[in-house]
Structure formats: structure tokens, C-alpha cells
Amino acid sequence: MEEWFSITNEETVGILLTVFFINVILLIMVRLNGLRTFSKMSSHDFAVTIAIGSIMAATILQKSPSLLNAAVAIAGLLIWQNLFSRWRLKRNEKHLENQAILLALDGKIIDENLRKSRVSKGDLYAKMREANVLKLSDVKAAILEVTGDVSILHGTKEVDSVLLENVKKHL
């Protein structure tokens, strides 16, 4: 149990140096890759963000992987993300991606879609409160996005149909 609470000076310096260098490496790679790197615009982007965090944590707290191993792994993920996002731009069909799901439309909750997407009414109401919805009847659409975020479109004006174009109406 004593080892749970002990750390040597050498380990402390190693961790701090690794934190510094892995962050410098990541900043350079993100600068080269562009703004999309941590955007969460697709489920793939979200997975890459989590994987990079995992690589960084393992590199900081363990002797293996080395900084160079981590740099290569992060670079590989960012190159793959870049290629995948370019590929997405050139195709119409979504073979490898989930589709956003409509949870409510015109003030009415779609219970079937809530059940199938495993979102509770309480969770949906919480997202509506976050979006400053005052009346359920003002909700034009509630959408479970591919990243897991919930978008709430509300107000007095009609929703432009293009905003719901790639959203599954029924599961």
C-alpha cells in the first residue's frame, strides 16, 4: 500500500518533462493538422480525440511508450483523421458513420426514438433547459447528434428543412 503514495524525485522530473514535451509535440501537430483536429464534428473525430488523450496519459505515466512512440501514434491518428475527413467530403453515402436522430419535433417528443437511442426524457428536458427553452411547444426540433451532443432548435420561426436533411426521423 505504501507504493500507492510514493514517488521518487527522478520519477517526478520524468513525468514533468514528459508532460512538457508531449504537449509541445501535440501543439505542433495540431497546428499542422488544423482546426478540425479536436472539433467533434463526427463520431470519428470524437474517437480520435479520446485516443490522443489516452496516448498522452500512457506516455506521461508510464516508461513505455516513449515520447517518440507517442509522437508517431498521434501523428498516425491525425493523418488518418485528415484522410478520413477528406474522403467524407467526396462522397454522399455515409457507410462508416452514424446518423443524427430526431428526438422531438414541433413540441412533441418522439418516445420511440428516445427509447431506441437510450436517451431519457429527463436527459432531454435537461438539454432543453440548457438551451433556455421556456415552453415545450417552442421546441422545433431536438436532435441527438453523431457526437452524442443534443441540439435544441427552438423559437417562433420555422426550421429551414436543410437543417434536418441528414437527420433520421424514425429508427
pLDDT tens figures, 74-95:
999 999 999 988 887 887 656 6
Give how far the C-alpha of residue 160 lies from the chain's centroid of Cα atoms, to the nearest Å: 25
In a domain, 50, yes or no: yes
Q: What is the pLDDT of residues 16-25, one digit of tens each?
A: 999 999 999 9
Which residue range forms the structural domain that includes residue 31?
A: 8-89
How wide is the angle at C-alpha 166 spanned by C-alphas 100 and 77, nearest 5°? 60
Query: What is the residue whose three cell numbers read 422531438?
Result: 104
- Domain closes at, from 89, 121, 149: 89
Is 110 in the same domain as 81? no
Is 77 in the same domain as 112? no
Gap between the Cα atoms of 163 and 141, Å rounded: 10
Inter-residue contact 117 to 101 (CB < 8 Å):
yes
What pLDDT was estimated at residue 112?
95
- Domain closes at, from 29, 54, 89: 89
Q: Report the predicted TM-score, pTM, of the whole model to 2 decimal places.
A: 0.70
Gap between the Cα atoms of 51 and 86, Å rounded: 20
Is 54 in the same domain as 23? yes
What pLDDT was estimated at residue 38?
82
Q: What is the pLDDT along the chain (171 residues), one digit of tens a residue?
A: 777 888 899 999 999 999 999 999 999 999 998 878 887 777 788 889 999 999 999 999 998 899 999 999 999 999 999 998 888 788 765 666 778 999 999 999 999 999 999 999 999 999 999 999 999 999 999 999 988 899 999 988 888 888 888 888 876
